[in-house]
Structure 1
Amino acid sequence: MTHLSQSFFSRASRIPFLGLGLSVDVYSPNLLDLVRILNGRQLSFGYLEIFQAHPHALRTIRTQMPGIPMAYHAEGLWFTQPGWAESEQAYSRLAQIGQDLEVLDAWWVNQECATKEIAGRVFGTYVPPLFTLDSARLTAQQACEAQAKLDVCQWGAQGPPLLLLEVPPLTYFGIGDLSYPEFFARVAEGAPCGFVLDIGHVWTAYRYVDGCSDQAFEAYFETFLEGFPLDRVIQIHVAGLACHPSVKVEDGTGLGVGFEPWVDFHPAPIPQELLGALGQVLRDPRLRQLKGLALEVDNKDVSLICRELDWVRGVFGDHLERISQQHSGIEKRIMHESRSQMDATEEQSQVPLQEELAHQYLEYLSLLTGKNTETITERMALSTKVNEGLQVYATQYLPQEILSWGGDISEMFPLSCDALKHQGVKLERFVEFWFGNPGSGSEMAYDFFSMKIQRFVEFIYAVLPEEASVVDREADILREGYRQSCQDVRLSEEVV
């Protein structure tokens, strides 16, 4: 057993089995209301994985829910990006996340193995990594450095939270010469991190890259499990999938044949295909370090949450109970094996060429934004299916993300948008402006809504400076309302 593997198992052995839980947003649905309803219906859950929120909100949650085990879903740790670990952004974000983890007394910190920032350009939803060997090595290297920085913080008796990387969703495409599971096998070789196996995200890899055309998802998932480092899986996620309402995939194209063009969409019901796959992985004997199964329920209707939690508990409760009973014996055996089999010297992973990888990510950015695509796609030898997926992403998905997702610009800035229309300036120019130059960026927590406010103010200053006072007033109102809503969780009494 390698030093890195032994380090992982040592950390994982400290985490108790938490069972069936929920991965939640603090604000939508209101966490207090949700827990009250679940308790009222006697729908028990083992833990909550809390998505990044304002520090005041996190303190309130922990104070009001002292008896609930918690984990943390962080944001802004862009391990896939060259040079990220050495940036000021990395230090400030890790420091804030360390404080959040301490407040929640979290057992682990989960970060999507993806990014929302490339070369200073910000995205609203996750952009998958380049699935290449150098990219996997860089991700592992920067994950190691992040875990080391978290380790030096002051923790309680349970020790430093374990860093987990979550397999990312693919939104119509994926690029690279490594398969989806092989990429994470390479990451596991270079970092002592655990993994979050999101079954819906695996479905998107099946749909847009690795499978779909000639096999059912069940068969693909079986092959996926054979290549994925299941012994590193700490948590499983299951969530909804749905077609994007603003995206049209043409019939007859590589993306429009045979299967629905679903994307990751948590408000939607969990598809039966994912529940079948959940049964597959829970029966796999290599799943020896699982600590929790979470339904991702942010922005989902509470009645649907209740039905799905009750159903999953009824169908898979026996599987989880069996895993729970096996845990203590497995942990003792693994720790004994790790002491006897540990390599005499720590393996030295190869350091990726960051300059070359940085150049590749700049080309990737051009593909994502629809620039210089013909030259780059020819050099990268991208398949027709990947090219079609990139076209859908760049021309349909990405513009609506900037203009509508996480806050509709026309509703956020009605007066400024009216002024643009009066002057004949199309709102779509804001998308060009957004990706035309790097934004000012955030050195603290990643916050897309705040970035939208800042970038639109900059846009008006650039194209319609006579409306600067108008956009400033609208921005001030938005910022104040947002600040209050982020802090005002309204948890008025203990719910446990």
Structure 2
Amino acid sequence: MSIVIAEFRQRVEGIAFQGIGLSADAYSPDIFELMDSLAAGSMTPGYLEVFRAATPMLAAIRRRYPSVSLPYHAEGLWWTEPDWRERPGTAMELDLVVEQARTLGSPWINHECASKRLGPYAFGTYLPPLFTTDSARLVARHAAIVQQALDCALGSGREDGPLVLLELPPLTYFRAGDLSAAAFFAEIAQSCPCGFVLDMGHLWTHYRYSAVTNRITLSEFVAGFLDEFPLERVVEIHVAGLSSHPVVPAGPIALHPDLPLWLDDHAAPIPEILYDMLEQVLARPNLNSLRAMGLEVDTKPVAAIVREFEDFLLRFGSMVDADRRRVLEQRCPSDSLPNFSRSVTTGTPEADERLAEASRRYADLIVGMPGPNGAMPALPEIDDAPLRWYREGYLPHEILIWGGDLRSMFPRTCERLREAALPLEDFVSFWLACREELPAPFDFFLLKLERFTRFVSVRCPAAGELVRQEAAELRDAYEAANLPAGCESPLSLTGWKAEAGR
């Protein structure tokens, strides 16, 4: 047994079996209303994984449910980026993760193996990493840094801090790199004792937007993925909804045109096919570190969550009981496990520079930014058609509408722009041309307020005072929604929360 594997085993042995639970937002829907509705149906989640929120809100959740296990779904650690460790905001983000994990008393912290920042560009939803060996090794080093910070702040004696879990990221039409996602995570597992979260909906997108879609069935794809993926590192499984994006991709669809163009969507119903995939996963004997299965339900109506949770318990409750028995039978006494000295490995200068250059080209290619010679950057392992779907449809929608429709947020300003014959769509190119250092912590909604105010002030100065007034009103309302008085009845800004629709 390698030292990395043994260290992971030592860490995961300290996590109690959680069973079936929920991964939820504190505000959307109201988490207290959700828990009350489940209790009214005589249902109690085995655990409640809570997304990042205002720390007083997390403290209120901890007080309300003192006996419920509260893992933490972190946000803002863009550890797939080569310069993450050196970024000015990284220390602040790490401090926040430690503080909020402490507030919740979390057994683990989960974070997508993805980023909402690529180079100078800011995005509202996750973008996958480059699936390369260099990238996987970088992520492993960065995850080890986070684990070290948690151990130093929250560990005691022989007890470790909350375990770091990396989640399989979703694909939004495209991927880049010469490794499969399974091989990418296997590479991470070789050098970092972290755990993994396997998300069924995310896995479906890897099938849908893969070149193999036309050659093999979904069941065959999942079987091959599970053969290659380090299942013995999976601590949690997520299941969430899928839906088609409002902006339908233009042009011919070469990848199995009969399949729906679904994307990750936690507000949408969970399709039956994900349950079939989950049964295929649970049948694997090397799934021996599994501690939890959760429905991801942020932004979904409470009544729909209650129905899906009840159905999930009926369908998978007996399988989870079997997993609980298997975990208990395989556990080792803690004093039989070795104590390890933990250190963070370093990469080679050649590999770091190679990845930095590839990451720069990846970021510019995604947004359609030409290189110094005027030509588009090239990456050999990326399909141009799905990338155009993202760049020409999904990304403009994200900037103009997702997380806050500008026409609803700034109605008077947008009317003034219409009168001045200034197309709102010009804001997309303005956004992508912004290359200043991003604020930390990075909040997409607040960044949208700041950049739209700047856009209007530059392109339509006559509307400058009006846009500043509307932006101030929105900022005040947003802060009130995220820091409600007493944290007992959170307000909501439907469609305006920066982290909605993860």
Structure 1 residues 150-159 or 64-73, which shifts more? 150-159
8 Å contact from structure 2 (residues 57, 483) kept in 1: yes
Show the counterpart of 2:483.
487
TM-score normalised by length of structure 1: 0.92
CA contact (8 A) 2:211 2:255 kept: no
How far apart, CA to CA, are the structure 1 residues paired with 2:334 and 2:62? 33
How much has 1:155 moved relative to structure 2? 4.8
The residue aligned with 1:227 is 228
Q: What residue is the counterpart of 1:426 in the other structure? A: 423
CA-to-aligned-CA distance 1:165-218 (integer Å, 9 cap, x gap): 100000001011001100110111121111000011011011102532122211
Question: Over aligned residues, Cα RMSD in angstroms?
Answer: 2.4
1:63-84: per-residue Cα shift (whole Å, max 9, x none)? Answer: 1221211111111111110110
Once the two structures are superposed, residues 49-97 of structure 1 have per-residue CA deviations (whole angstroms, 9 ceiling, x without a partner) of 1011111211111112212111111111111101101222110000011
User: Which residue in the other structure is 2:366 paired with?
Assistant: 368
Map of 1:96-111 to 2, 5 A cutoff? 96-111=96-111
How far apart, CA to CA, are the structure 1 residues paired with 2:457 and 2:114? 32
- What does residue range 431-470 of structure 1 map to in structure 2 within 5 Å? 431-444=428-441, 446-470=442-466
Unaligned runs of 5+ in 1: none
In the alignment, which residue of structure 2 is the partner of 1:130? Answer: 130
Q: Would the aligned equivalents of 1:201 and 1:264 in 2 still touch at CA under 8 Å?
A: yes
The match for 1:77 is 77
Secondary structure of the structure 2 residue equivalent to 1:21 = strand
| Corresponding position of 1:257 | 257
Find the aligned partners of 1:214 and 1:228 in 2 and give their Cα distance: 20
| Other-structure match for 2:181 | 180
Q: Are the aligned partners of 2:202 and 2:264 in contact in 1 as well (CA < 8 Å)?
A: yes
Please give the secondary structure, in 2, of the residue aligned with 1:20: strand
Deviation at 1:354, TM superposition (A): 2.4
Q: Deviations over 1:229-261 (max 9, x none)?
A: 1111110000111111222354x4214612111
What SS is found at the alignment partner of 1:123?
strand
Judged with a 3 Å threshold, the aligned counterparts in structure 2 of structure 1 residues 182 and 298 are, in CA distance, closer, same or farther, namely same
CA shift in 2, pair 1:231/1:349, >3 Å: farther
Could you say what secondary structure the match of 2:428 adopts?
helix
Q: Which runs of 5+ in 2 are unaligned?
A: 490-502
Asked whether 1:380 is paired with 2:379, we answer yes
In the alignment, the residues of structure 1 paired with residue 437 and residue 414 of structure 2 have an alpha-carbon distance, to the nearest angstrom, of: 22
Calculate percent identity across the aligned residue pairs: 38
Match of 2:391 in 1: 394
CA-to-aligned-CA distance 1:420-469 (integer Å, 9 cap, x gap):
2222211111111111122452222x321111111111212322233322
Q: Distance in 1 between matches of 2:452 and 2:439?
A: 15
Following superposition of structure 1 onto structure 2, how do residues 68-467 of structure 1 map, counting pairs within 5 Å? 68-155=68-155, 159-250=160-251, 252-255=252-255, 257-332=257-332, 336=336, 339=338, 350-351=347-348, 353-372=351-370, 376=376, 379-382=378-381, 386-444=383-441, 446-467=442-463
In the alignment, what sits opposite 2:495? none
Contact 2:24 2:49 in 1 (8 A): yes
Inter-partner Cα distance in structure 1 for 2:360 and 2:424 = 26
Name the SS of the counterpart of 1:234 in structure 2.
strand
More moved, 160-169 vs 147-156: 147-156
**Cα–Cα, structure 1 residues 138 and 347, in superposed 2: closer, same or farther, change >3 Å?**
closer
Give the equivalent residue in structure 1 for 2:500: none
Alpha carbons of structure 1 residues 477 and 329: separation in structure 2 relative to 1, 3 Å: same
More off after superposition, 18-27 vs 57-66: 57-66
Given residue 354 of structure 2, which amino acid in structure 1 is its aligned partner? E
- 2:384 and 2:15 mapped to 1: Cα distance? 43
Within 2, Cα distance between the matches of 1:113 and 1:210? 22
Secondary structure at the counterpart of residue 23 of structure 2: strand
| Greater RCO structure (CA 8 Å; 6+ sep) | 1
TM-score, normalised with respect to structure 2: 0.91
Would the alpha carbon gap of residues 72 and 345 (structure 1) be closer, same or farther in structure 2, given more than 3 Å must change? closer
For 1:289 and 1:244, locate their aligned partners in 2 and report how far apart those are by CA, in whole Å. Answer: 35
Residues 206 and 469 of structure 1: is their aligned pair in 2 closer, same or farther, counting only changes over 3 Å? same
Q: Secondary structure at the match of 2:89?
A: helix
Relative distance call for 1:432 and 1:88 in structure 2 (3 A) is: same
- Over 3 Å counting, the alpha-carbon distance change for 1:439 and 1:465 in structure 2 is farther
- For residues 344 and 31 of structure 2, the distance between their equivalents in structure 1, rounded to whole angstroms, comes to 44
Q: Deviations over 1:102-151 (max 9, x none)?
A: 10001111110000001121100000001111111111111111211221
Task: Provide the C-alpha distance between the structure 1 equivalents of 2:353 and 2:458, rounded to a whole number of angstroms.
Answer: 32
Whether the aligned pair in 1 keeps the contact of 2:145 and 2:344 (CA below 8 Å) is no
Name the aligned partner's letter for residue 429 of structure 1. Answer: D
| Alpha-carbon distance between aligned partners in 1 of 2:180 and 2:401, rounded to the nearest angstrom | 32
Tell me how far apart the structure 2 counterparts of residues 457 and 220 of structure 1 sit (CA, whole Å). 47
Displacement of 1:335 in angstroms is: 8.1
Counterpart Cα distance in 2 of 1:24 and 1:131:
28
Q: Which moved more, 1:95-104 or 1:415-424?
A: 415-424
Alignment: residue pair count: 485
SS in 1 for 2:254: coil
C-alpha separation in 2, matches of 1:322 and 1:335: 26
In the aligned structure 2, how far is the partner of 1:55 from the partner of 1:114? 23
1:375 is displaced (CA, Å) by 5.2
- Which range moved further: 91-100 or 463-472? 463-472
Q: Partner of 1:126: helix, strand, or coil? A: strand
Report the 3-state secondary structure (helix = DSSP H, G, I; strand = E; otherwise coil) of the residue aligned with 2:153.
coil
Contact 2:369 2:376 in 1 (8 A): no
Change (3 A) 1:211 1:270: farther
Shift of 1:382: 4.5
Cα separation, 1, equivalents of 2:28 and 2:263? 20
91-100 vs 210-219, which moves further: 210-219
* Contact 2:144–2:344 under 8 Å retained in 1: no
The more displaced of 293-302 and 484-493 is 484-493
